[in-house]
Amino acid sequence: MNHFITRNIIVLLLILIALTGCGRKNIKPTLSPEERMAKAQKMFTDGDYLDAKTEFRIIILNFPGGSLSDQAQFFLAECHYNLKEYILAGEEYKKLIRAYPNSDYVDDAQFKIAMSNYKLSPKSALDQNYTDKAIEEFQRFLEDYPNSDLVPEANKFMKKSREKLGDKNFKIAESYRKRAVFRSAIIYYDYVLDNYYDTPFAEASLWQKAECYRQLGDQDQAAKFYKLYLEKYPKSSNAAKAKDLLSSNGNNTNQD
Phi then psi for 125, rounded to 5 degrees?
-75, -20
User: Residue 140 to residues 107, 110, 117, 144, 145: CA-CA distances in angstroms?
Assistant: 10, 8, 13, 6, 8
The domain limits of the chain are 33-84
What residues have CB less than 8 Å from 152, skipping those under 6 apart? none
pLDDT score recorded for residue 90 = 98
Q: Does pLDDT of 8 surpass 90?
A: no
Model pLDDT for residues 228-250, shown as the tens digit of each residue: 999 999 999 999 999 999 998 76
Task: Kindly report the pTM of this predicted structure.
Answer: 0.80
Whether 10 shows a pLDDT value over 90: the answer reads no
pLDDT for the residue numbered 28: 57
pLDDT exceeds cutoff 80 at 201: yes
